[in-house]
Amino acid sequence: MKNNFNFNIDKRTKILTALTIILFLGGAVLLFFLYTGGFLSAWFTSLVLAITALMILSVPRKVVVLDNTLEIQCISDISEIEIAEIASVKIVSKREMRWIIPLFAATGFFGYYGKFLNIKEFDIVSIYASEWNNFVEITDIYDSRTYISCREADSLIAAIAEAQKAIAKRIEQDNKSGKESLTMHSYWE
């Protein structure tokens, strides 16, 4: 079983991305003309290019629900959450997300992704979003929360529930066949 859910960039994110690029380019050009290609302009340009490259490599592309894992695929990284370790999945309103501020994250540059601080609960959460809307909260058995923006939130939740049922069925079959007694959370050990 494989279900793909793509991240869709909204108009606000496109505007913020364009403004960020214009700001970075404007700063580099301004420093170049003010310091006529000196050390400060070269340093600033190099720093901006390095930060931009790191941000681009972390842009989320799609969510894939496989038999055993939920993969959040970025351009150069794949974050995996074991299906057996997912404790709850629910839709979260935009209003509930107002208490979340960025810690080590990109906000508006091709989306919202990274580590954020929930100041209401004083908890660090991971966010992979292409728009600040349509959030799905995934909580694992370790109380780690991940938020994903997904326009097909109901389908994503249904795919995760279906994968969890399939794993539970495999565990039950293994237990009936006399294999070592397994539980949902010890299935991968």
Whether 139 is covered by a domain: the verdict is: yes
Residue with the two structure tokens 């972390």: 58
The structure tokens listed for 80 are 């995996």
The Cα–Cα gap between 5 and 152 comes to 7
- pTM (two decimals): 0.82
pLDDT of residue 184: 53
Whether 52 is covered by a domain: the verdict is: yes
The Cα–Cα gap between 103 and 125 comes to 10
Whether 66 is covered by a domain: the verdict is: yes
Q: Which residues of the chain have pLDDT under 50?
A: 181, 188-189
Q: Is 40 in a helix, a strand, or coil?
A: helix
Whether 188 is covered by a domain: the verdict is: no
Beta carbons within 8 Å of 11's beta carbon, 6+ residues apart: none
Whether 46 is covered by a domain: the verdict is: yes
pLDDT of residue 37: 62
Domain of residue 49 covers 1-177
Q: Is 11 in a helix, a strand, or coil?
A: helix
- The Cα angle at residue 185 between residues 182 and 189, in degrees rounded to 5: 70
Asked whether 56 and 75 are in contact (CB, 8 A), the reply is yes
Amino acid of residue 59? V
